[in-house]
Amino acid sequence: MRNKPPYAIASVDSALLLATVLQQEGPLRVTDAAARLGVSASTAHRLLGMLVYRDFAEQLADRRYGPGPLLRGGVVPRATVGRLREVALPHLRELVDRLGETANLMVLAGADVRFVATVECGHVLRVGDRTGRTLPARDTSGGKALLAGLPPETLAEILGDLGEPAAAQLLRELRTIRRRGFAVNEEQTEAGLTAVGAAVPSGGEGPPAAVSVALPSVRFSRDALPQWGAALTAVAAAIADDLAG
C-alpha cells in the first residue's frame, strides 16, 4: 500500500488536492475550498493564488476559482462529478459502517478510473484516502466492473494495448463479473491490498461510476464475498436511484 511520505509537505499536498478538486468538480468559492481542505479561508486563498500564478486555476467573473489552462480538457465531465460525489458520500459512509472497511467512489476516464471520494474505516491498519488517484481500469475492482458493462467495440478499443493472452484472460474475468455483478482486485494494484467493486447502474447522465471496498489482504476472506458483493450492488443501486431522483 502507498503511504504518505515521512516528510510530507502539507502545503504542497493541499495545493495538489485542491487542483484535483478543481479539475474534477469545477469552480469553487474560497470558503468551499477551505471546507474541503480543512484549512482557514486565508490559507485557501493563498493556495488558490499560487494555482492561478502557475496556470492550474483561474479566477472567474463571479469571484469563484475554476480550473486553469493546465487542467482543462479532461475526459471526465466536471459538472456531474460534483453531483455524483455529493449523492454517493452518505452511501459510502453507510457501507463503511456495515462492512468495517474503507469505501471508494470512482469514475471511468478512458482506459483508467479516477477516484473521486473515499471514506476511511477506523482500523489502525487500513487502506487510506485514494481521492485524486488514477489507475488502470483493468486492474481495479471498480474499473473491471465498469469494463464489464461496456459495449464490445468500446471495450476492444480500451484493451487494444493488451497482448492476446492477457486480453483473453481479462475477457473471461469480465464474463464472470457480468454474471455475479461484482469484481475483485487481489493485489493487482498494490501488494497487500484487496478490493471488491460494483458498477453504479447507468441512468444516462454523468460518467460511468463504481463503488468499491478496499482492505488489507490479511483481512480478506473469500467466504465473505457473497455478502460483500450483495452490499456493494445494493449501495450502487441506491446511488443510481438517488441520482435519478
Nearest-angstrom CA–CA distance, 225 and 181: 11
To 5 degrees, how large is the angle CA 17–CA 18–CA 20? 65
Q: What angle do CA 218, 222, 224 make, to 5 degrees?
A: 100
Residue 143: per-residue pLDDT: 97
For the domain spanning 10-67, the CATH number is 1.10.10.10
Using the predicted structure, report yes or no on whether residue 56 has a pLDDT greater than 90: no
Q: Could you give the CA distance from residue 162 to residue 58 in angstroms, rounded to a whole number?
A: 39
Q: Averaged over 56-66, what is the pLDDT?
A: 92
Give domain 78-244's CATH number out of 3.30.450.40, 2.60.120.10, 3.40.30.10, 2.130.10.10.
3.30.450.40
Which pLDDT belongs to residue 158? 83
Domain boundaries, the chain: 10-67, 78-244
Query: What does the pLDDT average to over 132-155?
Result: 92
Centre a 10 Å sphere on the Cβ of residue 31 and count the other Cβ atoms it contains: 11
Query: What proportion of the chain, given as a percentage, has pLDDT over 70?
Result: 91
CA–CA distance, 53 with 65 (Å, rounded to integer): 12
Residue range 74-90, pLDDT digits in tens = 445 555 788 899 999 99
Lookup result for grid cell 463504481:
210
Question: Which phi and psi (to 5°) does residue 157 adopt?
Answer: -65, -45
Q: List, in sequence order, every residue forming a beta bridge with 114; answer none if it has no partner.
A: 107, 134
Q: What's this model's pTM, rounded to 2 decimal places?
A: 0.74
177 exposure class (CB count in 10 Å sphere: 0-12, 13-18, 19+): buried
pLDDT at 7: 54
| Residue 121: band (very low, low, confident or very high) from pLDDT cuts 50, 70, 90 | very high
The three cell numbers locating residue 82: 460534483
Residue 105 CA to residue 127 CA, distance in Å, equals: 14
Residue 134 and residue 112 in contact, taking contact as beta carbons nearer than 8 Å: yes
Determine the average pLDDT of the residues in 185-190: 94
pLDDT tens digits, 154-177: 898 888 778 888 889 999 999 999
Q: pLDDT grade, residue 126 (50/70/90)?
A: very high
Rounded Cα distance between 92 and 236, Å, is 10
pLDDT of 109: 84
